[in-house]
Structure 1
């Protein structure tokens, strides 16, 4: 186990060294840079990689959960770690919005662990938003996903309102038109949207998110779903209303590997959620599903670029944010 962990850390750090760049990226109120902590916390990438590697080895669901946590943070209100803040008697925080209630505990835990380790080495220096961005990239590569550059220098949000995520994050039954609209509002193309949907090649979904389309609701099963697949999901989810935490893998073929099987599944009617299967049914997105199903390298290339772009969305720099001492509360205790 020790050799496995050491090898994983070395692999992540080696890729970082080979692909690192010092190109500055403009952001709101300042600049981000891969070498942002070169003087103030030079080992931050190594510390984060070591922490997340140990967590992933002991809890293999961590990587997929963290990827989802990162998307929910960035896509709703920008990459500012606002989703990590806990509610108080005076404020219902973003993490307690209805759409965020199913975010997995392993993901929150790994960020707490990584932030704690970084704080011991470099107190009050590295933001939770940067820790989350680094952790997500490193965990993705552990699942076999593509490496991409993470520019650093984000600041953490000063608040965490709960009224945004339910309006801004895509729902499991969203139409392609709804998805295109949501992504376009944030400057993402249809191609980037379909590439980012490939994150569903790992992780799981709770039965309530797709129960209707497999015949567990008031309507007939979705004809686009493979009948045997739908029957298997009905058996797996029977009684889900009494057991709301029951869930199944997004990708039933290779659930723990980041690959292009998600897109192949859509062609076979094996998309778990309505918003997944809709990508193959709609003529605006079907050609991209076909492309990624046939060419994993094209998917990885587009996914990496889209993730790098997502990691820069709505970031806070300079005086627009802070470096939290704890990721679950702002320093001023205003929330």
Structure 2
């Protein structure tokens, strides 16, 4: 997953937010969700989504990371309500042009294609929010990661919140750091300073290997894999890299100091125990997927994930 900003955050903020996600302490909605929500109303939905995700990853393996990232970025702004999918209109300013998403969030066309197929099978039944949540799970599986049961029954928001999305890029970044950085790419401008300045927190040979693609001047938009070992496989190599001082991004490496830092032990555990990481990642993402969800009359089932249904459009600026 591409990071959001090169902005530097205090180490304890990094640590605390990471721990909150891994321990599942963030607020989740108490609305009733069910893994069998569409078993009668749209029994083919999950297989349609799985097939669509497999096809997208087969065409471009990087797309799996992008689809996972869409789910993260949807949930941490206003909840898991598919607001990130909304296009701008005359009366609604969406979140796609917010700082964390501009020229970064991608995969919208894949969502469009899958949604169209689901609509053909069962019109007006499955929400874009639920679809996006299942897509994230299937993307992780498609990249070799764990599977988990997805509670379903969300409805779609009729509004977007670009202002909050702009202001919350720090929250975005650390939401994605929980395992998500094991896949995806980062632009040079986010790690340039780290690899060109004297820095005891990075392996010098690793830093040197990145400098040709990310020179000290220019090349800001050149990309490198966040996990240089297995960039297109969802595994625990991200944590192994941190233990070896080969974290690409400065804020990644803050999670492991090698000097008894607050999350050193956790990183060490995940680096040597993939099953443990998979287990806890699955639990964390299920909890995240229930953040401030929309249910009942507070939302709708969008026919087109890019726009609200006629007469329901609202905006928050």
Tell me, yes or no, whether TM beats 0.5. Answer: yes
Pair 91,131 (structure 1): closer, same or farther in 2 beyond 3 Å? same
Report what 2:10 is aligned to. Answer: none
Report what 1:56 is aligned to. Answer: 57
Q: Is the contact between residue 29 and residue 290 of structure 2 (CA under 8 Å) also seen in structure 1?
A: no
Pair 209,128 (structure 1): closer, same or farther in 2 beyond 3 Å? same
- Deviation (angstroms), 1:165: 2.0
3-state SS of the aligned residue for 2:186? Answer: strand
- Deviation (angstroms), 1:313: 1.2
2:275 pairs with 1:275:
no
Report what 2:6 is aligned to. Answer: none
- Deviation (angstroms), 1:294: 1.3
**Structure with a larger share of its residues in helix:** 1
**What TM-score, normalized by structure 1, do the two folds share?**
0.79
User: Where in structure 1 do 4 or more consecutive aligned residues deviate above 4 Å?
Assistant: none
Report what 1:266 is aligned to. Answer: 242
Pair 244,171 (structure 1): closer, same or farther in 2 beyond 3 Å? farther
Report what 1:3 is aligned to. Answer: none
Residue-by-residue CA offset, 1:169-205 (whole Å, 9 max, x unaligned): 4379x8xxxx5xxx7xxxxxxxxx9xx5221111111
Q: Is the contact between residue 158 and residue 313 of structure 2 (CA under 8 Å) also seen in structure 1?
A: no
**Residues 264-303 of structure 1: pairs in structure 2 closer than 5 A:** 264-281=240-257, 283-303=261-281
Report what 2:285 is aligned to. Answer: 307
Q: Is the contact between residue 80 and residue 155 of structure 1 (CA under 8 Å) also seen in structure 2?
A: yes
Gaps of 5+ in 2: 1-27
**What TM-score, normalized by structure 2, do the two folds share?**
0.84
2:168 pairs with 1:168:
yes
Pair 171,245 (structure 1): closer, same or farther in 2 beyond 3 Å? farther
Higher relative CO (Cα under 8 Å, sequence separation at least 6) belongs to 2
- How many residue pairs match? The answer is 285
Gaps of 5+ in 1: 1-26, 184-192
- Deviation (angstroms), 1:239: 7.4
2:192 pairs with 1:211:
yes
Residue-by-residue CA offset, 1:11-36 (whole Å, 9 max, x unaligned): xxxxxxxxxxxxxxxx7584111111
